């Protein structure tokens, strides 16, 4: 396999394959771009069926982190790690400490964090071997669980999209369908309910769903009905790729704004399709940057208030993206990419790559 010719290889600076037979670790760390600073991105653990799938995922996700950090105005680059394994079976201290040693060997060019299949307890093991880990618990001086911060950013982003579509500041009476009532979705529902929105909820976890429905006076929706629902806002907070050729023709909402990564199955095509259908799309990596912004305070300081101000600025960033998309007659996804790339080009003229001694 020639990695340099892969469709998802996008001038990545460094791709590291990590293997350790005694702990069973098989991982890939991809550093996409460090022009803005050290590459920060979560460590995902997933039972990939092939090395090709794992490589494709880590290349794509690490590039996404470069764009996310750039638009969020953070001095961070884009990176990501994937560990090939089942988080329900393969979580051992030895495996994660070995992973931590690989992270340390990169001297700070890559900083890890939690992601799908990893959690704050795993970060505690990784932390024993490397200084380059974020999202660690508060009792170790970290910033803790990033999900409430991601949820607050999504809430601010929903308000920006609502303002753009209706001209209103208040979400009172806005009908919002939230898919996925997990760590982010639950906190988002709490804020939306408090703001007077009417909630429709969907999740495969029936207990979490019922609990949230009771707490937020919400209506439970089956997945088969979700994409046909007469609502104002669809907020995907579970899986990626729910906006696709099958769902778009049925959507009746005027806004798509949620936390899930890679919401559009095919970014360029589906963003155009929903725009033609009169739906405003809040680009996923812009609206869900709250968690990244919060963990960045572990590296650069500033504390919770500083992070909160930056998270609330997602409102202004999205209004700017909507404005640029209108002005240049391009999709909102393209407008976001343009803003990310402009900052990268501007900074790269003064700085090339992040090196540990900097």
The residues that are catalytic are 80
Residues 124-183 binding ligand NAD (CB under 6 A) are 146-147, 150, 179-183
CB 321, CB 283: distance < 8 Å: yes
Structure tokens at 271: 């963003």
87 binds ligand NAD, rule: CB under 6 A? no
Indicate which single residue of 35, 66, 112, 202 sits in contact with ligand NAD (rule: CB under 6 A). Answer: 202
Sign of CA dihedral 168, 263, 249, 338: positive
Task: Compare residues 288 and 337 and give the one whose CB is closer to ligand NAD.
Answer: 288
Residues 106-135 binding ligand NAD (CB under 6 A) are 116
Task: Compare residues 151 and 280 and give the one whose CB is closer to ligand NAD.
Answer: 151
Which range, of 17-25, 119-127, 257-265, 296-304, touches ligand NAD by CB under 6 A? Answer: 257-265
Nearest approach, Cβ of residue 253 and ligand NAD (Å): 17
Sign of CA dihedral 215, 221, 223, 227: negative
Task: Compare residues 37 and 180 and give the one whose CB is closer to ligand NAD.
Answer: 180
Interatomic CA distance for residues 352 and 358, integer angstroms: 12
In 72-203, alpha helices (H) = 93-105, 120-127, 147-166, 183-194
What DSSP string runs through 275-343?
HHTT-EE--HHHHTTHHHHHHHHHHH--HHHHHHHHHHTHHHHHHHHHHHHHHHT--HHHHHHHHHHHH
260 binds ligand NAD, rule: CB under 6 A? yes
Task: Compare residues 85 and 185 and give the one whose CB is closer to ligand NAD.
Answer: 185
203 binds ligand NAD, rule: CB under 6 A? yes
Q: What is the largest CA-CA distance in the chain?
A: 60
192 binds ligand NAD, rule: CB under 6 A? no
Nearest approach, Cβ of residue 186 and ligand NAD (Å): 8
Q: Which residues have a Cβ under 8 Å from the Cβ of 299 and sit 6 or more positions away?
A: 38, 40, 76, 111, 134
Please count the residues of this chain forming the interface with ligand NAD, following the rule CB under 6 A. Answer: 25
Task: Compare residues 28 and 209 and give the one whose CB is closer to ligand NAD.
Answer: 209
237 binds ligand NAD, rule: CB under 6 A? yes
E-strand ranges in 110-269 read: 110-111, 175-179, 198-202, 219-220, 233-236, 255-256
Interacting residues toward ligand NAD by CB under 6 A: 116, 146-147, 150, 179-185, 202-205, 208, 223, 237-239, 259-261, 288, 291
């Amino acid at each position: 396999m020639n990695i340099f010719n892969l469709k998802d290889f996008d001038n990545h600076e460094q791709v590291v394959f990590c293997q350790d037979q005694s702990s069973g670790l098989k991982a890939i760390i991809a550093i996409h771009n460090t022009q803005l600073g050290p590459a920060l991105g979560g460590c995902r653990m997933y039972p990939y069926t092939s090395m090709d799938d794992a490589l494709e995922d880590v290349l794509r996700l690490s590039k996404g982190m470069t764009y996310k950090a750039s638009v969020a105005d953070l001095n961070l680059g884009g990176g990501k790690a994937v560990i090939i394994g089942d988080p329900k079976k393969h979580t051992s201290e030895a495996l994660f400490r070995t992973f931590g040693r690989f992270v340390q060997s990169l001297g700070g060019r890559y900083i890890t964090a939690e992601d799908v299949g990893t959690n704050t307890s795993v970060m505690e093991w990784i932390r024993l071997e490397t200084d380059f880990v974020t999202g660690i618990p508060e009792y170790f001086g970290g910033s803790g669980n990033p999900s409430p911060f991601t949820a607050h950013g999504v809430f601010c982003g929903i308000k920006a999209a609502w303002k753009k579509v209706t001209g209103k500041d208040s979400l009172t009476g806005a009908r919002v369908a939230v898919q996925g009532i997990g760590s982010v979705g639950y906190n988002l529902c709490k804020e939306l309910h408090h703001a007077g929105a009417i909630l429709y909820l969907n999740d495969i976890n029936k207990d979490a769903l019922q609990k949230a429905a009771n707490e937020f006076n919400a209506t439970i929706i089956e997945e088969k009905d979700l994409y046909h629902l007469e609502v104002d806002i669809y907020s995907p907070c579970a899986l990626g790729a729910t906006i696709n050729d099958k769902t778009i023709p049925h959507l009746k909402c005027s806004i798509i704004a949620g936390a899930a990564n890679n919401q559009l199955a095919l970014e360029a095509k589906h963003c155009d399709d929903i725009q033609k259908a009169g739906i405003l799309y809040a680009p996923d990596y812009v609206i869900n940057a709250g968690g990244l912004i919060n963990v960045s305070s572990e590296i650069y300081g500033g504390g919770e208030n500083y992070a909160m101000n930056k998270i609330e600025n997602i409102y202004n960033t999205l209004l700017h993206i909507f404005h640029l998309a209108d002005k240049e007659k391009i999709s909102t996804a393209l407008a976001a990419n343009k803003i990310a790339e402009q900052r990268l080009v501007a900074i790269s003229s003064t700085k090339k790559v992040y090196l540990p001694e900097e």
